[in-house]
Structure 1
Amino acid sequence: MLDARHNTTRTRNFLVGFRFTGIDEVSASQFEQQFGPLPRGDGTFFPVRKERAQDAPKASDLIKTTGSTILHLSDIHFGVDFGFPARPAPGKTPLLESIERDLRDDPPGLIVVSGDITSRADANVLQDQGLRFLRALSDALKVPKECFVIVPGNHDIALNDYRPTDYSHETAFNLFTKEFFGREMTCPELRRYQLTNGRSIEFLAINSVRLRHKSERQFGYVQWRLYEDALRRSQRNPDDFRIAVLHHHLVPASREESVDPNYPEAGVSVTLDAGTVVEGLQTNGFQLALHGHQHVPAITRIDRGSVVDGTMRLSEKGGLVVLAAGSAGATRLSDEMRDNSYNVIKLLDKGYSVEAKRFNPGRAPEKLYRAAFD
């Protein structure tokens, strides 16, 4: 923030209070005439947690992992859309058993869950089936809970009961993550990990299920300003490989959008402020973004330019790779991907590889495609 009186740059934040002597209602045209275009979204109000987790890891802390591989799951959809049996049956394998069999010889060191753990934002399903599955997955693959990164999806938060003044519509999901991690999660949250091959990575967990307006609930919205402030305050290690995780798309995963009349809440995939998010991630040195949402696995590389001192500048590292996961458990699948799927990301001594696995209750996971990046 520039202080014009002293021509210096402020480097500290200060708490400021305001005393209102009156509030007058004006028409949209009067507002635009005096102040410019109408503001969008509910950016005046932000949720404030009553309790802050004292044991939350600082961005500078390094959490040691037991491997150098990331399992990326998304859109499990426990509840009415879940398609895997609870117990083994002829030609039917439970989801946990399929994943454990596939990865038992090379278990991951980290597990990312990019939203839609439930089908209908049912708090009981989230606390029962969702919590039980993730705990069992942690035990089966021997991945400690602090090595999970979990973000909400549009089916995890009850948007029909959206309350922008206190964010109480997020209570069920916050209780779920508190039960799983044993502490209250902060938002935004940066976490750093030390892999067994010596590389360090940093995750930024993003909630893309904020609403800009009730009429836009079928879209994702991040409100990047919240994350920009958190990144600016954190001390970045230039050697870290930075990964962002959110639920909604930054670019389309499907080749052509189609609106499903039976699923209007996710008729269009791309996040409303995707351009701002992509620019922000690139500016802050993020190389990979993971998401789910429309059940189509895909990989896209973006190199979005930003203007600095009158010059359009592109990324020095080739841009941002956006990795979409398909659905790990739903029956409602896309015509472009009729099986369930998940991603396995291997962080190599230099660069990384991505392998998408396809499977279903009657078919063991096998390679869909593989890609390598320097």
Structure 2
Amino acid sequence: MLQPLEEIFARYSAVLLPVGTWEHDFLLQRFAREAAYAPGHGLLVLIPNLYSPEANVRILDPGDGVADALQRRNEWPGAIFSVRGENSFFVPFDEAYRAVAELRERDLLSVLDDARDRAAKQAAVAGRAHRRLLHLSDLHLGARQTDLRRTFLRSAVADIARSGEKLHRIVITGDLFDQPFSRHREQYTHFVNELSDLTQAEPIVVPGNHDQRIMGNKLGMFGNRRRQLIDLRWNRGPVHDEEAGIVFLCFDSSRTGTAARGGVGTDQLVDVASGYDAKRRISRYDDCLRIAVLHHHPYPYPQKGEVPVADERLSGRRWRPNRRFRERLLEMEDAEQFLAWCAARDVSLVLHGHRHRPRMIPASIKADEAPFGRHALLTVGCGTSLGAGGAPLSFNVIDWNPDAGNWSVVVMMSANDARGFRRVAIQAAPARDEEDW
């Protein structure tokens, strides 16, 4: 389907795509026309598809320029340049206009080389204000196939940290080890210590069903084994990261439920709410990003109308909507209550694991306290970060700009044979107007 477009793009040395919202329509349309009539040859100018300022934007298989543009949404309008054989890059509008103006006196590739250098410096400066979280899940340490991939995952994460995208904190959403045995817990402890040099902050950790149930399942009290959680450092209730401007609301979703099912329970919701309210009286939460962290998925797999973030060639697994019986054994029993609680508590992002499939589900949840009675909530699932059960390896990177109030989530995946991580999807949320709350 894309072959005709690829043939057209191949005729040009570079492609220019203006980026912005409908508020920038006149400016970007005029800029696109001027760029299209610039002297010289080899530049293809695309007419922009402009977004609503309030839109959540998702792009599958994004390039470097697209990802950077979405993470720097507060700097729109701007433009993405893509040079044949090289990575694309994003520049704010003034720099894009400068590059087009220079085409009157210089050749295309030399102008874009200089624009790329300036863009790299601007991106480095812009990145200093951002806080990046690494979201891992379903490590299942102690299982042979996951132990073999520890070094590969750590190397990939270290590459991100070295690239200038400093990691502020690591979040792990359960199934830390494969069985609730001491030797498995010790392997998890070693692994977390290996990651400790990547960030100075303590990791945010919640348990999963495999951390407290034999083979992840229980019937009544049979299979329940919480002994390893006693010595494990995991988070309960609210955690305020003042430097990052984030409040984490942490839940043990394996507290209730049989088999591999879960639920947080009303008592835990009350406990977390009480702790949140008590801390809010002495700390400023108004401008913080609120993130709920748990293991179980609050939406069934697959959700009706859900679009997978990665195609089957990478995931190696098909979505099977007819496997309802299996889903019933894994579901979160009080998911509707939990999501309503998140909406009422002004949570913007939910992080979970459990199903070994990455996903992103934007939703509008009824909330009487919210403007127009609806609250925007993005639920993000992480796959298995160490490839448990032969699944692809997966982790997410959350980019939060506390100064601008906007954030994004990038899904990274590798085939199970460790052929290399690549960016498979990005979802970006706009800044919220705090005056509306």
Letter in 1 for 2:339: V
Alignment TM-score, normalising by the size of structure 2: 0.56
2:290 equivalent to 1:242? yes
| Correspondence for 1:125 | 184
Deviation at 1:315, TM superposition (A): 6.9
Letter in 2 for 1:223: G
| Correspondence for 1:115 | 174
Mapped to 1, the partners of 2:219 and 2:166 lie a distance apart of: 39
1:186–1:130 distance in 2 versus 1, CA, 3 Å: closer
1:74-105 per-residue CA deviation (whole Å, 9 max, x = no partner) reads 01111225335278xxxxx5332232223322
| Correspondence for 1:304 | 365
Instruction: Specify the structure having the higher radius of gyration (Cα).
Output: 2
Mapped to 2, the partners of 1:290 and 1:79 lie a distance apart of: 24
Letter in 1 for 2:270: E
2:266 equivalent to 1:218? no
Mapped to 2, the partners of 1:243 and 1:71 lie a distance apart of: 13
1:283-317 per-residue CA deviation (whole Å, 9 max, x = no partner) reads 11111100001111111123232579xxxx88756
1:153–1:314 distance in 2 versus 1, CA, 3 Å: farther
2:217 equivalent to 1:156? no
1:175–1:161 distance in 2 versus 1, CA, 3 Å: farther
Mapped to 1, the partners of 2:427 and 2:356 lie a distance apart of: 19
| Correspondence for 1:83 | 146
1:103–1:209 distance in 2 versus 1, CA, 3 Å: same
Deviation at 1:235, TM superposition (A): 3.9
Task: Identify, as 1 or 2, the structure richer in helix.
Answer: 2
Query: How much is the aligned-residue C-alpha RMSD, in angstroms?
Result: 3.1
SS in 2 for 1:252: coil
SS in 2 for 1:303: strand
Alignment TM-score, normalising by the size of structure 1: 0.65
- Overall identity of the aligned pairs, in %: 24
1:197-236 per-residue CA deviation (whole Å, 9 max, x = no partner) reads xx51100110000124xxx222111103322243134243
**249, 252, 275: which is aligned to 1:207?**
252
1:158–1:69 distance in 2 versus 1, CA, 3 Å: same
Deviation at 1:340, TM superposition (A): 1.0
2:225 equivalent to 1:169? yes
- Structure 1: gaps spanning 5 or more residues: 1-64, 88-92, 178-184
SS in 1 for 2:355: coil
Higher relative contact order (CA 8 A, sep 6+): 1
Letter in 2 for 1:363: R
Q: How does 1:1-374 map to 2 (within 5 A)?
A: 68-80=131-143, 82-83=145-146, 85=148, 94-105=152-163, 106-127=165-186, 129-139=187-197, 141-145=198-202, 148-158=203-213, 169-177=225-233, 187=236, 189-195=237-243, 200-212=245-257, 216-232=258-274, 233-236=277-280, 237-254=285-302, 256-257=320-321, 268-305=329-366, 318-333=375-390, 338-348=391-401, 349-360=404-415, 361-374=417-430
SS in 2 for 1:234: helix
1:280–1:85 distance in 2 versus 1, CA, 3 Å: same
Deviation at 1:124, TM superposition (A): 1.5
| Correspondence for 1:57 | none
Mapped to 2, the partners of 1:75 and 1:258 lie a distance apart of: 24
Mapped to 2, the partners of 1:130 and 1:296 lie a distance apart of: 21
How many residue pairs match? The answer is 274
